[in-house]
Every structure is written in C-alpha cells, then in structure tokens.
Amino acid sequence: MTRFRESEPPMAEPLGYFITWSTYGTWLPGDERGWVEYRRGWQLPAPMRELESMAKMTEDACRLDRVQRELVHRQIAETCQVRGWELFTVNCRSNHAHVVLAASGDPKLVRSQLKAWCTRRLKELEISRCDGGVPIRENWWAERGSQRYINDETSLEAAILYVRDGQDKPR
C-alpha cells in the first residue's frame, strides 16, 4: 500500500486546496501554541526560540484592521477570477487568512500569487492612508504558509465549513 505525506496529493487531480498563511510576526517559531518548522513538521513550544525569532523581526507584527481584511477578501476573489480558479470560500482574520479553492498547478505557487496580489493592494491602501507617502510596512505576511490537498467531497465540505464558520469557535 502506498502512503502519502500530508503535503502530497494522493490523486492526480485534487478537488481543491486549503491554503492558509499568517501575517508577519504573529506566529513565530517557538510560539506557545506550537509551531511548524519547515520540512520538519509540528514542533512543541520553545520560548527561547520564540525570543530569538522576535529579535530577528525587522518591524512590528502585522495585525490587519477591518478595511484591510475586506480588501484581502476582495483581492483574493479578483485574483481567482482573473486566473480562472474556483474560489469556494475565503476568510481573512487580523492575523491570518484561509482560502479554499480549486486551481491547476502547484498550491505553493497559488499561495504565493495570492499573497503577492494582496500585498500590492495593502501597500496601495497604506499609501492612500498616508496621503500618497511611502508605505510604512514592508512585511505583511509570514514567509510561508500551509497548503493541503483536498481529494474528496467530504474533505472539501469540511474545509469550507471550517473556514466559513469555525474561526471564532474554541478548539
């Protein structure tokens, strides 16, 4: 029997992707909630690692306000429409964004495109807020994020429900 890692698609053509990314500085390596180390998976809290990560930050953590979150929602919808991706749901919070969509191609590239377009729009908004000045923030998003393959209708429905309705519920 062939076993697949969580990040590999067990089907040739997944039904969709569940993509998540955090805002800059809001979920650092060592975080008390646990954290994901690139290519090593889930890690337990490590307070010293978190302090080291904080010391390396080049600006304050990014928390999105209501207007910024709405802008991210709109930009994700627009990017999906332009690229021909099917957007099932999106939920941008103050410190992270979740997207469930169907797209052809590598989900890391899909995530990268979504983050890039949202960054462009957030910088434009910031410039307009400071009367045409230079954007104050350089880093809007954490370096990476999560992408999960959705391979069946049950998983698709569960991801959509979680993103749409499960964000304010205790775990």
Reported confidence tier of residue 69, pLDDT bands at 50, 70, 90: very high
For the chain, percent of residues with pLDDT exceeding 70: 89
pLDDT digits (tens, 9 = 90+) for 94-138: 999 999 999 998 999 999 999 999 999 999 999 888 876 776 889
- Residue 71 in this model has a pLDDT that exceeds 90: yes
Arithmetic mean of pLDDT over the chain: 88
Q: Please report the beta strands in the chain, taking only residues with DSSP state E, as ranges in sequence order.
A: 16-22, 35-37, 41-43, 86-92, 96-102, 146-150
pTM (predicted TM-score): 0.84
Exposed / middle / buried, residue 107 (Cβ in 10 Å: 0-12, 13-18, 19+): buried
* Domains, in order of start, for the chain: 16-25+63-165 (3.30.70.1290)
Residue 29 has pLDDT above 60, yes or no: yes
Higher-pLDDT residue of 48 and 159 is: 159
pLDDT in tens, 18-27: 999 999 999 8
